[in-house]
Amino acid sequence: MGFAQPRIAGQSGRGYLLGSKDMRRDESCFIDRRAFCGAGLAIVACTAAGAQAPAPLPPEQFPLDTEEQRIADLVTANHILADQGVLDSYGHVTARSLKNPKHFLMSRNRAPGLVTAEDIMEFDENSLPVDQKGRQIYNERFIHGEIFRARPDVMAVVHSHAPDVLPFSVTDAPLKAMIHMAHFIGSDPVPVFDLETVEGPRNGMLVLNSRAGAALAQKLGNRNLVLMRGHGMTVVGPNVRRATYNAVYTQINARAEMEALKLGKPKFMNEFEVQRVGQINRAWEAWADHAKGARSS
């Protein structure tokens, strides 16, 4: 199961799922009578009030997907996540290679805020560098490699030590979608990966091999993120921009949830509310501009 598409309201019962391939021709003209009457009354009410129904959001335009564009987005993502405080000097971001989908792209071992296009390296399906050229590489690259292996739908991975998610990785308090911009977290608690279950009590708290990386990928399952006990989080997305958005708003949601817990019991988003899909390019452009300004100042 990959990234879920939002369901259409009213699809249960006598309605149908838009775009269903097995929909019979005569069903394409079927309209539930109650839905028709309800829509008619709504139109009358809106007309009487002089209001208009909001126009649907146009689909977002993304640059042509090339290997070069993925590298460019990867560099920008490193800068954004460092600037937003999601990545410290030890976090990292990856993108699946377009030329060879079994491979992935990742910076050499360098602080995210300093990454350039020249730092990006290619790694194979076993998380080994294709051409290391004497460059130092990240120890925890297995996080990324094993997720790409287990999840063909994932095109980008962010591993972060974001401080605001850490309390949820070591307590029984569940991290769940609470603010609308973090809908992708879901209405169920985010799973927590404990390296001790794989490496035993004498572990170094780091994912340093394929076995541990595969266990992390299994704990992630079909979700958009997984917490790591006392370590941080790993977030995925269908492209670098979405994964970056997810990482930023996971941290913001965690921060808001901790504040809400001080006041009482938070009300989380329900199963329908989390199906919304938000725009990301507006945020991406603003974050990239801010990160560029921070780097030049």
- The b-or-e profile of 158-195 (16+ CB within 10 A means b, else e) is bbbbbebbbebbeeeeebbbbbeebbbbbeeebebbbb
| Residue 68 CB-density burial (10 A; 0-12 exposed, 13-18 middle, 19+ buried) | exposed
Instruction: Enumerate residues 6+ apart whose C-beta is below 8 A from 133.
Output: none
Catalytic site includes residue 67: no
Give strand pairing partners of 93: 158
SS3 label, residue 121: strand
SS3 label, residue 74: helix
Closest CA to 241 of 60, 99, 12, 120: 60
Pure H helices in the chain: 33-48, 67-83, 141-150, 166-169, 196-199, 210-220, 240-263, 281-296
* Phi, then psi, of 202 in degrees rounded to 5: -95, 60
Closest CA to 250 of 90, 61, 65, 91: 91
DSSP letter for 236, please: E
Annotated catalytic residue: which of 140, 146, 199, 257?
A: 140
Q: Which residues are catalytic?
A: 140
